[in-house]
Structure 1
Amino acid sequence: MAKLVIGALVGLGGATIGVPVALGALGVTAAGIAAGSVAASMMSSAAVAGTGGVAAGSLVAIMQSIGAAGLSVGTQAASAAGGAALVGLLL
């Protein structure tokens, strides 16, 4: 049981702390994608590859959505469950 609790905390921590930190490091903010950032380069590449815009459901669009609205409760719960399963397998 302790393994599941530890895993859930690791998964939830990764979702609630790790993802926003990683996105911020790439240049994704609540106000949008920062000019000159890695995310801006990804957005430019996605636009050139597509029809001039970022396709719905693409990695860049998902990153923008998370940056603007944060992670949903469902995503956080899934991360906690995944972390619990992973730690349970490793320990």
Structure 2
Amino acid sequence: MSKDQLIVITAGAVGAVVLAPVALSMAGFTAAGITAGSMAASMMSSAAITNGGGVAAGGLVALLQSAGAAGMSATATAGVASVGGAAGALASGALGFLKRLRK
């Protein structure tokens, strides 16, 4: 693995961890609760309809709201970093492939 590849993978992992709270907030999962009219509100409504009027504890909406309100747990942070690193690895591979095509 080259130094450039390692940098892109690390940037993907760090970027994902840094941007996850921003993405949660933009989707409507905030410390003050779910923002009215947001994607989070739509997800909550769908989950409530599916579950007979309530949002299931431990479900996706509940987990995202918990992360939006209190921050991500160490496990969630590690998961997000793993996905970001994998995305960085894919980007690094794609860039390498494109460089080889140019030669």
1:66 is displaced (CA, Å) by 0.8
8 A contact 2:11–2:88 mirrored in 1: no
The farther-off stretch of 81-90 and 68-77 is 81-90
User: Unpaired segments of 5 or more residues in structure 2?
Assistant: 97-103
Match of 1:56 in 2: 57
Structure 1 CA distance for aligned equivalents of residues 44 and 68 of structure 2: 14
8 A contact 2:33–2:65 mirrored in 1: yes
CA RMSD of aligned residues (A): 2.2
The answer on 1:4 being equivalent to 2:26 is: no
The farther-off stretch of 77-86 and 48-57 is 77-86
Match of 1:79 in 2: 80
Aligned-partner residue type, residue 17 of structure 2 = A
Aligned-partner residue type, residue 11 of structure 1 = A
Match of 1:40 in 2: 41
Aligned-partner residue type, residue 26 of structure 2 = A
- What TM-score results when the alignment is normalised by the length of structure 1? 0.76
| Identical amino acids, percent of aligned pairs | 50
Relative to structure 1, is the Cα distance of residues 25 and 4 closer, same or farther in structure 2, using a 3 angstrom cutoff?
Answer: same
- What TM-score results when the alignment is normalised by the length of structure 2? 0.69
8 A contact 2:28–2:39 mirrored in 1: yes
State how many pairs are aligned.
90
8 A contact 1:7–1:85 mirrored in 2: yes
Relative to structure 1, is the Cα distance of residues 63 and 40 closer, same or farther in structure 2, using a 3 angstrom cutoff?
Answer: same
Q: Which runs of 4+ in 1 moved over 4 A?
A: none
